Structure 1
Amino acid sequence: MGIFRSKNKKDDTVGGGPQVLLRVEGMHCASCGLLIDDELEKLAGVRSSTTDVRGGRTTVRLEEGATVDTTALVAAVEGAGDYRARVAE
């Protein structure tokens, strides 16, 4: 079981709107997940972010009707530290 965390409690349910799954490399501990979630949740249109450190993935839930450029999501993750991110296919 991975380490999950979402600071933004507006949406703690699955299927709470559109979402983007990111694959993230370079995370080593729970603090890495916290940093990534904090950076993503600063972006306009992002409802919440939940990072699974052990699984190497971050689920970004978007506000209904929001348009968020996935390159901005990747840039936010990579700007949070020495991480590499990509949108999962």
Structure 2
Amino acid sequence: MALFRRKQDTETGPLVVLKVEGMHCSSCGLSIDDELEEVPGVRSASTDVRSGRSTVRLDETAAVDTDALVAAVHRAGDYTARPAE
């Protein structure tokens, strides 16, 4: 049995955390990550299904609108997202 470890986040840049609803499994999280990482200015995305949160790392000089991130989550499937408080 192989063990997989998530790489440690050593990147810099602004973080945006989204609260995501409608996820059921790890595949949901991966689909959301893929869509978020397609948004220009997004460096990386990591979605935790258990906590219902997506953490998005932006490029240092990116001007990414939160609405674009929410739309990307919706494109991934029947999910809703909003900025986490």
SS of residue matched to 1:20: strand
- 1:14 Cα deviation (Å)? 5.4
Q: What amino acid is the match of 1:24?
A: V
Matches of 2:54 and 2:81 in 1, distance apart? 9
SS of residue matched to 2:34: helix
- 1:15 Cα deviation (Å)? 6.2
Give the structure 2 partner of residue 32 of structure 1: 28
Unaligned runs of 5+ in 1: 1-5
Say yes or no: does 1:54 pair with 2:50.
yes
TM-score by length of 1: 0.84
Give the structure 2 partner of residue 3 of structure 1: none
Matches of 2:80 and 2:15 in 1, distance apart? 19
Say yes or no: does 1:18 pair with 2:19.
no
TM-score by length of 2: 0.87
Unaligned runs of 5+ in 2: 1-5
Q: How does 1:62-81 map to 2 (within 5 A)?
A: 62-81=58-77
Cα distance 1:61–1:76, how it changes in 2: closer, same or farther (>3 A)? same
SS of residue matched to 2:72: helix
- 1:34 Cα deviation (Å)? 0.5
Q: Which protein has the larger Cα radius of gyration, Structure 1 or Structure 2? A: 2
Coordinate RMSD, CA, aligned: 1.9
Q: Give the fraction of aligned pairs with identical amino acids, expressed as a percent.
A: 68
Q: What amino acid is the match of 2:17?
A: L
